[in-house]
Structure 1
């Protein structure tokens, strides 16, 4: 229970830092209404981090993550204006994929068949 609370808090703090940094770095490229929505969600999450309620922190973190996706979509939409709808759709998929990257970790081993064949005397 305590570990879960610490992990939730760490995840929330990382999200706050990354989102703040992204906003500052791309201040001129972010539409005003999206920026306001993200800032409000960030303020709410920062307030929840002052308390000890893990469920509230998790809920606020999910809200910031959702609004951050809108931020990413708005950024991709701005860069894909000339590329048409296909570019915007790819941007949306990229933003969603980036947000879930931590959850979909795949553990794999790369085997070079050529080296394996030589090392085993040609027997596969």
Structure 2
């Protein structure tokens, strides 16, 4: 039995699709799809907040049981995949050789996808911070952040995401956003201090 926790890619996402694949390749699309199911009814929440625990279990007869559970609500959905006679030794050998032949290419693609996912999270949080706290920094800083967001978006929208290009532009966005981060921190400190003063005033 093996469990892994996933989350959502969009704000207020109400459902996730779980795809079960078999194979040796790094990217799911290059493997054999055995089945899929949806976990629906997720409550509205910002992207990345819901915790979806996916558990894979395979018994001695080769029957695969896959379940997905939203840790927040306890909602659960599962699929049972019957063994289809299993793969022949020839099929398995072909899968392994196929994976070995594409190892470098698959690794590059996986790194590109991982860099893209991290970049999209940073774009999302940077846009929100700029909207909520943009007035705390200069117009030049706002422009630099907007330009860095646009450049990173362009890099992530490439048909074959380039990990090195995305990482470089992610680093640039993080660097130009430092002043905004400092402004947010100072603003929150000031709010906390203001709250302490008002609480102290009520005690008098």
* TM-score interval (norm. to shorter): 0.5 to 0.7
- Rounded Cα–Cα distance in structure 1 between residues aligned with 2:127 and 2:180: 12
Change (3 A) 1:32 1:79: farther
Q: What pairs up with 1:12-91 in 2 under 5 angstroms?
A: 12-51=119-158, 52-76=161-185
State the partner residue of 2:61: none
Aligned residues: 81
**Is the contact between residue 38 and residue 68 of structure 1 (CA under 8 Å) also seen in structure 2?**
yes
Q: How far apart are residue 36 of structure 1 and its match?
A: 0.9
Which structure has the larger Rg?
2
**Is the contact between residue 137 and residue 180 of structure 2 (CA under 8 Å) also seen in structure 1?**
yes
Greater displacement, 32-41 / 64-73: 64-73
Structure with greater proportional strand content: 2
Structure 1: 5+ residue stretches without partners: 81-124
Structure 2: 5+ residue stretches without partners: 1-106, 190-204
Q: Deviations over 1:40-62 (max 9, x none)?
A: 11111111111122211111011
Structure with greater proportional helix content: 1
